[in-house]
Amino acid sequence: MKKLAFVAVFLLLAATSVQGQYQHLTITADSLASALAPLCEYLEEHAGLEDTVVTVAQVLASSSGRDNQEKVRNFIKQAYTDWGVTHVLLAADHDQIPCRLIWVEINTQWRDWIPTELYFAALDGNWDADMDGQYGEPEDSVDFMPDVYLGRVALATPGEMARFVEHFLTYSEDSTAAYLEDVLLAGFDFSATYRGELCCEIYDSLYLPQTMRAYKVYDSHSPHNHEDSVKTLLDQGMHVWVQYDHCDYNVMGCGYTNHRYLLWVSELDDMRNGTNYSIMLAAGCYPSAFDSSFCMSETLLTLAEGGCVATCANSRVGFGTDPDPYRGGSVFYVEKCLEWFWTRGNRSSMEGVTSAHGQAAALAASDVVWRWCHFEFLLSGEPAMPVWVPEGSGVAEERTKAQVQRTSQTIVKGVLVLQKRRMKDDGGARLVDAAGRVVMELRPGQNDVRGIAPGVYFVRGEGPSSRVVIAD
C-alpha cells in the first residue's frame, strides 16, 4: 500500500511540476542516500543547482520501460522535460543502477558490448529503433548528442560513497590549495610509432595555463623507472593527472611497451597524496570498466589516504583514428576535456566531458571507430564539480616567464622551418633529442625531418632553444 501511495503522489508531482523546479537530479540506492547528502547540499549552496534525490526503487516504481535501463532513462527524460534538469548524477554501482550495453562491431576482431552512460544523457529516440533488443546499432537511429551533463559514481557501499563525498567536498571547497598548480603528464609509447608523450606535449603547448606547471614522465626520459616516477609525483599531489599507456580494468602502464612497468590496482592503496586529490584522464583501455567487479576509476575515488576526486576514461578498448592519431579517437576526448578545464578560468567544471561528447557527435554518427570511442569515454564523478584554475602566483608566474624565455614549441609534420635569426653567426644549428644527442644539422629555411622518428626534440644554437614535437 505504501508503494502504491508513493507512486500516485509521485506521478501527480511529475504531472504538475513547474519548469525549472530542479536543475540537478541525483539517482541513488536507498542505502547510499544519506552518504550523498553533503554533496547535494554543496551543489545547492555553492553551485546554485536545486537538487532532488530519488532512489532507484522510486524510479523503477514510477517509470515505464521495457527494462530497468529504459525506466531510468525515461525518468531522466521526464525530469529534463518537466523539471528543467540540466545535471544528472547516477550514484550507485551498475548492479544497483544497471548500465546500458551497446553493441559495436568495427570488424571481426574488434566487436564488443560497451557499457555507455551516453544512453542516459542523449535523450532522443529509444536507441533500439528496430526493436531487436540490441541497442546502439547503426540501424537504431542512435542519438549521439547529450542533452544533460551526466556522471556516474559506481560505488556500492555507504562507506565507499562517504569517502568519495569527502574527496569531493575537500576539493570543491578549496580553490587556493598550492598543489592545484601542478599537472602530471605521463606519456608513454603505445607502440613504436604511436607515442603518448606527443599528445602530452600538445596539451602543454596549447592549453596549460601559465599559472600551472607540468611535471613530465616520458619514455624518452629513459633509463628512469617510470612507474616509480609516476607514483612519487602522485604522492606529492598532482591536480590534473594525464596518463597515456596501455591499461586494463586493474592496471595502468607506465612505460609498458618498452620496459613492462605497470601500476597495479593493489598498489593504489599505497598512494599518500592526502587531501591533494587528482583529476585523472586516461586514453588507455578499460580503466573505467565499471561493469566489472571493480576498476581503476572506482578504486581511485575511494582511497583513504589520497587518490582522485574524478576520473575521465574508457570503459573498453581505446582507439586512435586517422589521419591524426594524436588528436583523434580516444585521445580527442581527453584533449577536449583539458581544453574545457584550462581555457574557461573560474567557470571551469567537469561538464567538459559532456562538451567533448557534443563536439564529437557528428564524427561518431558517421564513423564506426569514433562510434566506439564515443560510447566508452565516461566521467566517474559529479558533472557539476568545479575544476579550479589557479590565479596568478609569484612562483608560477616566475617559472612560466623563465620557461617562455628559454623555449618555445613548434609542432611540425614533415618539414621544420628555421628562421635565419634563430641561427648562430656561422648559420648553423642542430636538432638534438631529449638526451642531448645531435640527430640532424639544420640550415635556414625548410628542413626535411620525415626520416626522424616521432618525438620531442630541441633546436640548439646561440639563441634561446626551441622545443620541437615531430609527429608522423
Predicted pLDDT of residue 409:
53
CATH numeric code, 408-470:
2.60.40
Query: Per-residue confidence at 391, pLDDT binned at 50, 70, 90?
Result: confident
Instruction: Give tens-digit pLDDT for 443-470.
Output: 888 888 888 877 777 787 644 456 777 7
The residue-averaged pLDDT of 233-247 equals: 97
Predicted pLDDT of residue 39:
97
Comparing CA positions, the residue from 41, 22, 291 lying closest to residue 168 is 41
Mean pLDDT estimate for the chain: 87
Contact 94/290 with Cβ under 8 angstroms? yes
Predicted pLDDT of residue 202:
94
Query: Per-residue confidence at 17, pLDDT binned at 50, 70, 90?
Result: very low
SS3 236: helix
Instruction: Give tens-digit pLDDT for 194-214.
Output: 899 999 999 999 999 999 999
Predicted pLDDT of residue 402:
35
The residue-averaged pLDDT of 412-420 equals: 71
> How far is it, in rounded angstroms, from Cα 72 to Cα 218?
43
> How far is it, in rounded angstroms, from Cα 277 to Cα 274?
7
Query: Per-residue confidence at 472, pLDDT binned at 50, 70, 90?
Result: low
Strands 251-253 and 247-248: antiparallel
Predicted pLDDT of residue 432:
80
- The helix (run of H) or strand (run of E) holding residue 26 is strand 24-28
Q: At what angle do helices 330-343 and 352-366 cross, to 10 degrees?
A: 150
Provide, rounded to the nearest whole percent, the portion of the chain with pLDDT above 90.
71
Predicted pLDDT of residue 161:
98
> How far is it, in rounded angstroms, from Cα 188 to Cα 176?
31
Instruction: Give tens-digit pLDDT for 264-311.
Output: 999 998 899 999 999 999 999 999 999 988 899 999 999 999 999 999
> How far is it, in rounded angstroms, from Cα 167 to Cα 175?
14
- Nine-digit cell string for 45: 549552496
How many angstroms separate the first and last alpha carbons of the chain?
67
3-state helix, strand and coil shares in percent for the chain, rounded to the nearest 5? 40, 25, 40
Neighbours of 192 (CB within 10 A): 10
The residue-averaged pLDDT of 232-260 equals: 96
The CA dihedral of 12, 17, 21, 27, to the nearest 10 degrees, is 40
Predicted pLDDT of residue 435:
56
> How far is it, in rounded angstroms, from Cα 43 to Cα 20?
16
Predicted pLDDT of residue 97:
97
Comparing CA positions, the residue from 36, 25, 100 lying closest to residue 66 is 100
Kindly report which listed range (98-102, 257-261, 344-348) carries the lowest average pLDDT score: 344-348
Predicted pLDDT of residue 10:
41
The one-letter amino acid at 162: A
Query: Per-residue confidence at 2, pLDDT binned at 50, 70, 90?
Result: very low
CATH numeric code, 2-140:
3.40.50.10390
Predicted pLDDT of residue 109:
93
- The helix (run of H) or strand (run of E) holding residue 379 is strand 377-380
Structural domain boundaries in the chain: 2-140, 158-396, 408-470
Taken in order 343, 171, 84, 79, the sign of the CA dihedral is: positive
Predicted pLDDT of residue 4:
31
Query: Per-residue confidence at 15, pLDDT binned at 50, 70, 90?
Result: very low
Contact 198/189 with Cβ under 8 angstroms? no
Instruction: Give tens-digit pLDDT for 162-196.
Output: 999 999 999 999 999 999 999 999 999 999 888 99
Query: Per-residue confidence at 75, pLDDT binned at 50, 70, 90?
Result: very high
Instruction: Give tens-digit pLDDT for 135-167.
Output: 988 888 899 999 999 999 999 999 999 999 999
CA distances from 440 to 27, 431, 437, 471 (A): 59, 5, 9, 16
Predicted pLDDT of residue 293:
87
Query: Per-residue confidence at 392, pLDDT binned at 50, 70, 90?
Result: low
Contacts for 132 with CB less than 8 Å, ≥ 6 apart: none
Comparing CA positions, the residue from 10, 130, 1 lying closest to residue 64 is 10
> How far is it, in rounded angstroms, from Cα 36 to Cα 166?
10
Question: Residue written as cell 562491431?
Answer: 105
Predicted pLDDT of residue 272:
94
CATH of 158-396, one of 3.30.870.10, 3.40.190.10, 3.40.50.1460, 3.30.930.10: 3.40.50.1460
Do the domains 2-140 and 158-396 sit in the same CATH topology, yes or no? yes
Predicted pLDDT of residue 378:
97
Taken in order 79, 80, 81, 82, the sign of the CA dihedral is: positive
